[in-house]
Every structure is written in structure tokens, then in C-alpha cells.
Structure 1
Amino acid sequence: ILCTNRDEFLDRPTEDAHFHAFGAALPPGAPPPVLAGRDLQAGGSWFGINRAGRVALLTNITEPAQKYTTSRGALVSAFLLATPPTHQSLEDELAALVPPDARFAGFNLLLFAPAPPASVSTVENSAQTPISYEALLVTNHGGGGALAARPLRPDECACGGVSNGVDGAGDAPWPKVQHATAALAEALASTTTTTTSTSSSSTTSTTAPNPTPPNPTSPATYTPTESALLHQLFALLAWHPPRAIAHRSELRHTVHVLPVPIVLDGPGSTHPRAAYYGTRLASALLVRRDGAVLFVERDVWGLGGEDGDGKGKPVLAEPPTERVFRFVLGGGLSASDICASR
């Protein structure tokens, strides 16, 4: 269960989440392997999942802008496109994917991969081996730093959050992460209580053989458990304090970033003049233990009309438009691979 906002300049060229291969050539008839949005300015992505169940989630470390020849988003695309060698750890795979001399602007990257022996084929054919995940946090601790990786702690795996700060620096926890983690824990607890009180024949069962999406004909029609959980996840992502932030240094205090003019000065800046920055997208990912996937992406803030300077002004998507995807891990393009936009 993952939820995340994409906080970014509102004028940055972006493609919504869809199945694709980041422009890579595919064999004839092969389904696009990755479900993710695309950053059209620097390439790569910030959040996505592939058909094997591998997940990547990227946050940028808040720091002065610098110029780098590499894109942090390319780490996401490389991981989601890679075919991992058998019996290789995530740490070893990362070393093979990223050149040792590569330098990036500051980032934190969460990587998730189905843990052996719960391979995709096993999940498809046996109800006795529910899918589970290995998880790794990768970071360079700030722009130009060497890559470091560590497994997530048990408490982080149970319920945790990742910020735009430096991992292990000893700084005080970011208020927005504290708030979001507490809200996530509450959502998980209430959903668990609701699920355990339902009938054993409920469509939310996570051990059903030959998994199929709960709503095979209407991806945007949620089960009661999905609806309750998604409601709480998107409420979590919409939280902001009563007072709007006025400076980039205050981003640590809000989950939902109300649009604010920000100037990024420096050799790597793409916005030497003020441009609106805010929460553009909110996303939630649910992967059931039987391999059924639900991915929901909602529009939040965009640009429309003109402000006093003749530029686009922030417009809230109200009600929010969303894209909903359902598929089963390990499957090709099939009737169970469905999407809807509303």
C-alpha cells in the first residue's frame, strides 16, 4: 500500500500515468511493461510499477539547484525496465544498473521487488504463496554524493514515510512525514478492522487462487474496502496546515502543497524567474497478496487562464479527474488489464 503526491512546478511538461516502455523498442505483440507517468523535460519518472510487481518511488532532496548531466528520474525507469538476474539482491542489481561514477542531484529512492520464492509464476498458480516484497532505500545524501542503500527497517515496512530530507543526518523528522505516517497508520488499522469483520467470501480476500481484479468490467468501481482505504489515503495526501506556505523552506510542513511562486537560482535551475510550484498529482497503489493491482492517479493542481504577468494561473481540479488501472502481476495484455479515466 503506497500513496504519494507529485510536488513540482506546474508548467513542467509531463505525461499522465499509462502503460509504456519509456520509448524503448518492444518485441512485436509485447505489452508495454511499465505503468507510470513520464517527466518529458528530463526523462524518467517519479513513481511507477511494472508487470512483474517491481515498484519505484522517487523524492528529491530539498537543496540549492546545481547542474548535473544525469536525471534522477532515469533511476526509476532503469529499475522498472530491467530484467533482474535470478537470485540477485536489490543492492547488487542497483550496482549493475548505475555506473559507479554517476552523479545526481539529491534524491531518495524507494525500491520494491517481489521477494523470492514468491515469483510471479508461483503467485499465479498457487494460493499458498501470497506475494511479499523486499524493500530498499537508495539515496546519495545530497547532490553529487555517492549512492548508498539500506533495507527498510521492520517499522518502516509496517508503516513509514520518506521525505525530501537527508536520510540518517540526525535532523528532526519532517512534520509532514510525521502527520502522514500517523494518518496512514490510522487508515491501515481501520481498514484491517473492517476487513476482518467481513465474510470470508469477500472479494477483498488476499489469498484467492487465480487472482482477478475485483471489478473486471469497471476498474473505477471500487469494493467497499478499496473505497474506504482510498478515501483515507487521498485525504492524507490532501492535508495542509491552515496557513499556506510562503517559501520553499516551509515545504516540510505540508503534505498538499498549495501553489506558491518559487524562484530556483543556480546553475541547474530551470526557473530563474518565479514559477508556480505545488501538488500536481496524488497517487495510490494497492497490490493484493494474490497479485491483483489497483493504481489510481488523480489530478490536483494545474495551470489555466492567465495571471497578471500573462502566464498560466493555478487551477484546482475540482472535482478531481482520475485515471484508474487494474491488472494482475505477471500477466500480459489481457481482459484483466483495464483502465478508466473520469
Structure 2
Amino acid sequence: LAPWPEAPHVHAGRDLEAGGTWLGVGANGRFAALTNIRDPHRPPGRKSRGDLVARFLTGEIPIDDYLADVVARSMEYGGFNLLVGNANELWHFNQRESKAVMLAPGVYGLSNAGLDTPWPKLLKAKAALNEVLDDPRPQALLALLSDAQTAPFTELPDTGVGLATETLLSSVFIASQSYGTRASTALIVQADGARHMVERSFGPFGGHLGEVEIRL
């Protein structure tokens, strides 16, 4: 998490291969996040999904115009969910459904399927989020993202990756030698547009590498 040299108003991580990002904020009040849709049988897209977030954060076109362009180009990418918004509105786009929806105020959960798909870790995270909403401090949000408890076999979804991988992926925080949670980020957006962002980064087996805090 850092300002981008060519766009200092953008604070986000960076895909070193394709140059995009998965979550970030801009000084113009915008924020965006992206998750992939887990589907091992679908070939990868021609373009990097991180470009979708980068274009929103660096651009200034209205949200509805931006999303219309995303809808038109969505099949150029692998499966994805996209969240874009500001202090006044939040939109969700799911590539499989090919439509953008403005979300009403409430508590939502998003993993690697559709919005509010009732995977065990999503239900657990939403319940934990409800408990801290009265005083949503970054450290409390990061604490709920640190839950490494896997789900029982009987509750696992079947996304085509096999039982061992389904188990590994069933925890909120994923830790192993070669695959796992790379970063946990808490983003709080105030009604006046002020944003508070704290990110923790991790290495193999969930080893803590550092923490960055930004206020905009």
C-alpha cells in the first residue's frame, strides 16, 4: 500500500507484472476493490482484472459511465466481482450476472463467488463485522480478518478445486507455504469523504511483514 509515482493521489497495492491493483483509494474520494470468481474450468481472460480498479481510481468519469464501459468490456477478463464507490454511493458488478447494482445501506459480504454467497467464512465475517459496527476502528476490522479457523468438511462449498484446497480456502485468513493471504486491509470512509486505511502484509505461513496506515 503506497502512493503511485505516476498518480500520487492513488494509494493502493500494485501488481508488479500487469501494473493494476485489487484495492485502493484516490484523493478524489473514490475507492474500489476486486475479487476473482473461483472457476478452475474457465480459461484466464485476455486482460488483467487489476486494470479495472486502476482505471477507476485514476479516472474522473462519472461512476455510471465507468460501469457502462465495464459491462461492455467485461468478457475480456477472467471472472470477477468489482466494488466501486465514494462516500455517497457503492456499486457492485458481478461478471457472471453482467449487471451493475447500486447497494442500499447495509452489511454485505463478498468472497470469490456472488455477493453474499453463504460460504462459511463469509457468514462468519459478516457476523463479526456486525459486532464492531458501532465503533468501527481499523484494528477491530483487521482482527476479524485474522481468523484462520477452517470450516468443517460438511460445510465446504464445491467449487471444483478438491477437498484439500476447499479446506485451505475456507478460512477468512489463509496461511500456507505457497498460497495465502498476502494483505489484510481495513478501509473506513466517513460521510465527509475522509478515509482511514490500514493494511497489514504477510509472507509464507502468514508471517507478519509490516503495517501501513494512511489518512486522506
Please tell me the TM-score bracket, short chain as reference.
0.7 to 0.9
Task: Say if 2:92 is the partner of 1:150.
Answer: no
CA contact (8 A) 1:176 1:252 kept: no
Structure 2 equivalent of residue 184 of structure 1 = 129
User: Residue type of the partner of 2:100?
Assistant: A
What TM-score do you get using the length of structure 1 for normalisation?
Answer: 0.54
The 1:244/1:74 distance shift into structure 2, 3 A limit, reads farther
Contact 1:70 1:102 in 2 (8 A): no
| Deviation of the 1:234 alpha carbon | 1.1
* Residue 80 of structure 2: aligned partner: 107
Query: In the alignment, which of 289, 294, 298 is matched to residue 196 of structure 2?
Result: 294
Q: Secondary structure at the match of 2:188?
A: strand
SS of the aligned residue for 2:180 comes to strand
Answer yes or no: is the 8 Å Cα contact 2:151–2:170 preserved in 1: no
1:248 shift after superposition: 2.7
How many equivalent residue pairs? 206
Q: Which has the larger radius of gyration?
A: 1
Distance 2:193 2:65 in 1: 25
* Match of residue 66 from structure 1: 43
Q: Secondary structure at the match of 2:215?
A: strand
Q: What residue is the counterpart of 2:156 in the other structure?
A: none
Distance in 2 separating the partners of 1:70 and 1:253: 28
Spell out, residue by residue over 1:238-276, the C-alpha distance to the aligned partner (whole angstroms, 9 max, x if none): 01226799733235521001216xxxxxxxxxxxxxxx1
> What's the CA shift for 1:133?
1.7
Q: CA deviation at 1:147?
A: 3.5
**Percent same amino acid at aligned positions?**
36
Render the CA deviation track for 1:52-73: whole Å, top value 9, x for unaligned. Answer: 1111011111111523211111
Moved over 4 A (4+): 242-246
In structure 2, list runs of 5 or more residues that go unmatched: 154-162
Q: CA deviation at 1:99?
A: 4.9
**C-alpha spacing 1:67/1:60, structure 2 compared with 1 (3 Å):** closer
Distance in 2 between residues matched to 1:165 and 1:237, nearest whole Å: 18
Deviation sequence 1:139-196 (CA, Å, 0-9, x none): 212xxxx7321121x3xx322211111348xxx611111111110110013x1xxxxx
d(CA) in 1 for partners of 2:18, 2:111: 21
Query: Counterparts of 1:101 and 1:282 in 2: how far apart (Å)?
Result: 26
Structure 2 counterpart of 1:316 = 207
CA contact (8 A) 1:174 1:252 kept: no
What does the per-residue CA deviation read over 1:280-337, in whole Å, with 9 as the maximum and x for residues that have no partner? 111111222233322111112x14xxxxxxxxxx4611xx52111122xxxxxxxxxx
**Matched-pair contact (CA < 8 Å) for 2:121–2:151:** no
Higher relative contact order (CA 8 A, sep 6+): 1
Task: Judging by fraction of residues, say which structure has more helix.
Answer: 2
Offset of residue 45 of structure 1: 0.3
5 Å-filtered alignment, 1:207-286, equals 229-241=137-149, 247-250=164-167, 253-259=170-176, 276-286=178-188
SS of aligned partner of 1:277: coil
Aligned to 1:165: 113
Alignment of 1:135 with 2:90, yes or no, is yes
